[in-house]
Amino acid sequence: MAKRVGIEVSLAISEAVKLAKVDAVAAYPITPQTHIVEHLSELVAEGELDAAFIPVESEHSAMSVCAGTSAAGARTYTATSSQGLALMNEILFIIPALRLPIVMTIANRALSGPISIWNDHSDIMSVRDTGWIAMFAENGQEAFDLTLQSFKIAEDHRVLLPISVNIDGFTLSHVIEPHEFLDQDEVDKFLPEYKPAVQLNPDDPVSMGTVGVPEIYAEAKKCQDEVLKGSITVIKEVFAEFAEMFGREYKVVETYRSEGAETLLMTMGSVSETAMEAIDKLQEGGRKVGLIRLRLWRPFPADELRAEMAGVKTLAVLDRAVSFGGAGGPVAGEVRSALYSIKDAPYVASFIAGLGGRDITVDDFVMMVDQAEAMAEANEIHEYKMIGVRE
């Protein structure tokens, strides 16, 4: 039976990776991801996890090794943060192109400079267009569950794409909280052994990573995008199967008390739970305000988002990264694009807050909602507003 455990979220993720019976882990430690891979190396050293733990000299090497182990047919896991993800960048593009179902935890952290080890979403936003499936966990339980589900989604032969499970650095990775762990036999029933569609095998050789001449490159990119967009069907199937087996439901777009709301606050990641407190407070005051959260960032769930917009007049989108010189925060920009062509599209206010570890409090969320409604009323033209910055 499932057991309830008080444990650090990082360690809970390592336990999920162990339960997934990964074959290979190649990783380089970086704050705040360190505890995850440190614990995995312990599990391997103590014989509790029968996997190859491959220490490497950089994140570029880590992802390169992961490409190799995954191509050889091994269930492969890694984790990183911030500058580490940036250093992987070159290889990140190659993984989905080769259709390698690697699962990676990103303990989200700001990018330098100035040097910051603290949480925001600038790292994941900087790799938005690498072709990975990207999802966000809001608490430790979700981080545990999504890690297990990610292997099943990634390895589905209709998908065969890598997945990043994003957890907020420190605010999730370093928090001890309750988790419902699953037993090995339950996980085994949910997640069967990985069966590669093709693998590197000297007895049946293939060439991976060949040249794409102008006559085929566009077809390769079209194929990659279609498969990524199509993965949403498999993601929903796996979420449904998980809910049926273990009773915890996940959706690609999540809502909280959004029925009848005229204003929606939109968040991603662990601040969503703090935002729920703000919604409760606002609704107590009679305000028609709800919360909408993106679980899935790539593929972008545009249809599912549009389906939640009936009756919504104002949408206050929180971004935790800056798209320098851009037209709004990275999430708000996508949201505006997705909603532009629908009838009676809501006014989209773009807020940037919580950069480099700055807390976003319940009062901050209340203020964003107030401000968004005033901006909508005045139909204020703006790219984005930064919250809490000293002027």
Partner 1 sequence: MTKKFNEKAWHEYDLGFMVSKPGCSAEYRTGDWRSQQPQTNKDKCIKCGVCYLVCPEGAIQLAADGTYDFDLEHCKGCGICATECWTGCISMVEEGE
Partner 2 sequence: MIEVRVHGRGGQGGVTSAEMLAIAAINEGKFAQAFPSFGPERRGAPVVAFARVSDKKIRNRTKVYTPDVVMVLDPSVLSIVDVTEGLKSDGMLVINSAKSIAELRTEFGFKTSLARVDATHIALEELGLPITNTTMLGAAVKAATLVPVEALVGPLEARFGRIAAKNIRALRRAFAETEIEMV
Q: Which residue has the tokens 């690609």?
A: 252
Query: Which of 245, 270, 314 has the alpha carbon at shortest distance from 143?
Result: 270
Which member of 56, 98, 117, 208 binds partner 2 (CB under 8 A)?
Answer: 117
d(CA 62, CA 145) in angstroms, rounded, equals: 24
Which whole-number Å values give the CA distances from 5 to 245, 318, 322, 326, in the listed order? 20, 32, 37, 44
Contact 289, 282 (CB under 8 A): yes
Complex with partner 1: residue 100 or 369, whichever CB lies closer = 100
Q: How far is the CB of 79 from partner 1 (least distance, A)?
A: 24
d(CA 256, CA 338) in angstroms, rounded, equals: 21
Complex with partner 2: residue 21 or 281, whichever CB lies closer = 281
Q: How far is the CB of 40 from partner 2 (least distance, A)?
A: 20
Q: Which does 176 bind (CB under 5 to 8 A by kind): partner 2, partner 1, none?
A: partner 2
Q: Residue 289, interface with partner 2 (CB under 8 A)?
A: no
Q: Residue 38, interface with partner 2 (CB under 8 A)?
A: no
Q: Which does 177 bind (CB under 5 to 8 A by kind): partner 1, partner 2, none?
A: partner 2
Helix or strand holding residue 86 (H, E): helix 82-97
- Output DSSP code: residue 45: H
Q: Residue 198, interface with partner 1 (CB under 8 A)?
A: yes
CA atoms within 13 A on the CB side of 7: 21
Contact string 124-163 vs partner 1 (x = CB under 8 A) = ------------------------------------x---
Contact 189, 149 (CB under 8 A): no
Which residues, 43 to 102, sit near partner 1 by CB under 8 A? 97-100
Binding segment (CB under 8 A) for partner 2, from list 172-180, 208-216, 236-244, 321-329: 172-180
Which residues, 162 to 191, sit near partner 1 by CB under 8 A? none
Which member of 129, 359, 380, 383 binds partner 2 (CB under 8 A)?
Answer: 359
d(CA 137, CA 250) in angstroms, rounded, equals: 10
Query: Which of 116, 109, 186 has the alpha carbon at shortest distance from 144?
Result: 186
Q: Which does 6 bind (CB under 5 to 8 A by kind): partner 1, partner 2, none?
A: partner 2
Which member of 38, 177, 188, 370 binds partner 2 (CB under 8 A)?
Answer: 177
Q: Residue 362, interface with partner 2 (CB under 8 A)?
A: yes
Instruction: Return phi, psi of residue 329, to 5°.
Output: -65, 160
Q: Residue 202, interface with partner 1 (CB under 8 A)?
A: no
Contact 249, 171 (CB under 8 A): no
Contact 291, 257 (CB under 8 A): yes
Q: Per the structure block, which two tokens stand in for 313? A: 């007049």
Q: Which does 390 bind (CB under 5 to 8 A by kind): partner 1, partner 2, none?
A: none
* Interaction site with partner 2 (CB under 8 A): 4-8, 32, 117-119, 170-172, 174-178, 270-271, 273-274, 276-277, 357, 359-362
- Return residues touching partner 1 (CB under 8 A): 97-100, 160, 197-198, 205-210, 212-213, 215-216, 218-220, 222-223, 226
